[in-house]
Structures are given as structure tokens and as C-alpha cells.
Amino acid sequence: MGAEHAVGRAPTGAPTSGGAPRTPSATASTWPRIDADGTSTSNPGAVPPMAASSPSPATGAVPLVARRRPRLPRSVLLVVLGVVLVVVGALLLGTRAAAGLLALQLLVCAVVRAVRPAPGPNALAVRSRALDVLTLTAFALVLGVLAAIVPSAR
């Protein structure tokens, strides 16, 4: 078999489905090419990369903005903190108490999801408000019942 190419792509000069050879067009990619050594070679008619400069009132150009590291939403941090406290509770108080703490955390999450305005906390807003509250409450009740009926290890 000959050289295989990705579907819908043919090398320059190779016949396409219409049979005519494909040639580079003037509308081909105009992005600059960056070589392995970091030097940039531009295609003819390529748009040069934007440089960071002050805004120009005449052109209305906006300078590039330095990107900040994205921060985790506060709700995610609070849920993780709650899980860490449950793990510490499991180590210090036992599994029965930790299951009760986890049930309590789920119940608090359900209340927070129910009372916070839309769209809600990022860590808790997964589906509709009613479905989230129902799911969190059901899990809290099931864990609470399990924590109550499981015999204590200590």
C-alpha cells in the first residue's frame, strides 16, 4: 500500500477526491512557524505576533495581560477541608464518629446548596438545585443511619 494520510488531508500536489492536484492557497495558515531553536520564521503575509506595549489611543490596541495562576473556588476548598476533618476524625475518634461527621458534612452541603442563589457553589452545583439537594440529603441520611447501626470499634 502507498503512503497513508489522515482522512480529509492530502499532501501538496497529491490528487484529492476531485482528482485535481492540491496546491497551497493564499488563504493557507498565516501563523508564524517556530523552529526547534526558538527562532520564528513567518509565512508570506503572516501576521506578526503581538508585542506587549501600552495602549495606543490612536489604534485602540489593548496590551497583553499577564496571566495569573487560576485559583480554586472557595466552595471547593471548604469541601476539601471538611473531608480532611472527617479523615482526622476517623483517626482520632473512630469510624463510627467519622461516618457521622461525613453525614453531617453532606447535610450542611445540602442546606448550602438549597439556600445559595444561582448558580450556587462550584463544588456543589452539579445538576439542578432540587436534584443536588435531594442527592446530598439522601446520602447524609443513609450515612447517618449506617453510622448509628454499625457497632463501634472502640
Which of 68 and 37 is assigned the larger pLDDT? Answer: 68
Q: Decide if 3 is inside a domain.
A: no
Q: Residue 81: its pLDDT value, please? A: 92
Q: Measured between alpha carbons, how far is 147 from 102 in angstroms, rounded to an integer? A: 10
How much of the chain is in helix, strand and coil states, percent to nearest 5? 40, 5, 55
Q: Is residue 154 part of a domain?
A: no
What lies within 8 Å, CB to CB, of 45 at 6+ separation is 26, 30
Place of cell 453531617: 104
Predicted confidence at residue 75, as pLDDT, reads 84
- pLDDT for 135: 95
The answer to whether the predicted template modeling score (pTM) of the entire model surpasses 0.85 is no
Examine residue 116 and state whether it is found in any structural domain, yes or no.
yes
pLDDT band at residue 137, thresholds of 50, 70 and 90?
very high
Query: Is 42 within a domain?
Result: no
Q: How confident is the model at residue 144 (pLDDT cuts 50, 70, 90)?
A: very high
Q: How many domains does the chain have?
A: 1
Is 31 within a domain?
no
| Residue 120 is assigned to a structural domain of this protein | yes
Render pLDDT for 81-102 as a digit per residue (tens, 0 to 9).
Answer: 999 999 999 899 888 888 999 9
The boundaries of the domain holding residue 94 are: 74-149
Q: What is the DSSP string of 32-81?
A: PEE-TTS-EEPPTTPPPPPPP-PPBTTTTB----PPPPPPPPHHHHHHHH
Cell of 130: 432540587
Euclidean distance between CA atoms 12 and 24, whole angstroms: 7
132 vs 124 pLDDT, higher one: 132
| 138 in any annotated domain | yes
Cα distances (Å, whole numbers) of residue 154 to 97, 114, 150, 151: 11, 36, 12, 9
> What is the percent of the chain with per-residue pLDDT over 90, rounded to a whole number?
29
In a domain, 135, yes or no: yes
pLDDT in tens, 30-67: 566 666 666 666 555 555 555 555 555 666 666 666 77
